[in-house]
Amino acid sequence: MKGPFVFTSESVTEGHPDKLCDQISDAFVDHILRRDPYARVVAECAVATSIVFIAARFDAGVSIDFPNVTREVIDQVGYTGPQFNGKTCSIVTSLREMAPDGARHFDERSMSDAEVGRVVARNQVTVFGYACTQTPAFMPLPIWLAHKLARRLTSVRLQNVVPYLAPDGWTQVGVEYRERMPSRIHSVTLIAATKTKEPTLAALRRDLIESVVEPVFADEPLRPDGLTRIFVNSDGLFLGGGPSVHSGLTGRKNAIDTYGEYSRHSGAALSGKDPSRIDRSGAYAARYAAKNVVAAGLAEECEVLLSYSVGLAEPVSIQVQTFGTGTVSDDDITDRLERHFDFRPAGILRQFNLRYLPSIVKGGFYRKLAAYGHVGRMDIGLPWEVTDKASLLKSS
């Protein structure tokens, strides 16, 4: 992608069925870790018309009311209509306790370096982290704008600015690039579900452009111009939306959770698993490394790859790619990361305090990540978004 090109990324609101499933799954993680920070949990969810399916495995001795947590999340997201709501939907569960595993109940906060090295990865995965200079959050511009639009779409619904909106919605932004940097806004797409057939398409378009699109771009350096194409519900009214119209599943929006496909991402879901799973915590560590590389001025964009194998603590592969933007070689940056970052499972848990955040953050922690991205967030104090090692990398 050296020449001019257009790149699009999409986001969805928290009422999208896939994101509803992610939030339910991560609500389980929050509830379980608040009771036992060392507990293991893997939870998946599927939703369809009037029904929710839950499959969860978790440590013996940790008990939560899975159906009640599910109903709370559905109500909080805003599904209260007769077609789908937390009070009347059917909930089918398949719950299984995991066998005891003393090796998993370790306190990394008091471990020596040798002890950290004995905590190995229990699953195999390759994860990616990415950062660039396109936005203040070091994120690609298309996904950054798509998330802003999705959050605004939810905000105007909750504040009754556009009272007829339902919780479900999509956004997409196309950005034209030249020399791998954004040059103009090519297109903006909004699809919003409505509670009734009352608004005309013309009224919906007017309301969403005035209350969503214009405010989102008001403080952006790159704004729609006379040639930008803006689409609002181009297929017509989307009545109701949500699980009564289309099904949802945990982990189906990995690109939205990360970099909007501008960079690679793992095929493993991020939501619905405790942070001892390296396919979740490793993705956060890779983002942390990439962001610090860019913040240090070592590259304008950086992708960090970490590969883990079962039974080993250290990643078997650490690779850096700066796409020709590095001020030093990619191998040099890789060497600096290996010296100054701890990518071992217990090291990541200790660095980010991942077991204890659900108890520290009011209202839970992991559920907040389940909508609008696990990375690049400026509305939450995420430990992997800090750039505290940038000066160390620069002077190394």
Two tokens, residue 171: 């956004």
Interval 340-363 mean pLDDT = 96
Distance CA 24, CA 16 (A): 12
User: Quick check: is 33 in a domain?
Assistant: no
- 97-155 pLDDT tens trace: 987 765 566 789 999 999 999 999 999 999 999 999 999 999 999 999 999 999 999 99
Residue pair 316/309 in contact (Cβ under 8 Å)? The answer is yes
Q: Say if residue 282 is in the same domain as residue 385.
A: yes
Per-residue pLDDT band at 1 (split at 50, 70, 90): low
Distance CA 363, CA 296 (A): 34
User: Quick check: is 38 in a domain?
Assistant: no
What is residue 62's predicted lDDT score, i.e. its pLDDT?
83
What is residue 100's predicted lDDT score, i.e. its pLDDT?
73
What is residue 3's predicted lDDT score, i.e. its pLDDT?
75
Distance CA 77, CA 70 (A): 11
- 66-78 pLDDT tens trace: 999 999 999 999 9
* CATH number of 194's domain: 3.30.300.10
Q: Say if residue 130 is in the same domain as residue 147.
A: no
What is residue 61's predicted lDDT score, i.e. its pLDDT?
80
Interval 305-327 mean pLDDT = 97
Residue pair 106/346 in contact (Cβ under 8 Å)? The answer is yes
Is the pLDDT confidence value at 396 over 90?
Answer: no
246: left (phi over 0), alpha (psi -120 to 50) or beta: beta
Interval 29-57 mean pLDDT = 96
Can you give the residue range of the structural domain that contains 284? 113-134+278-395
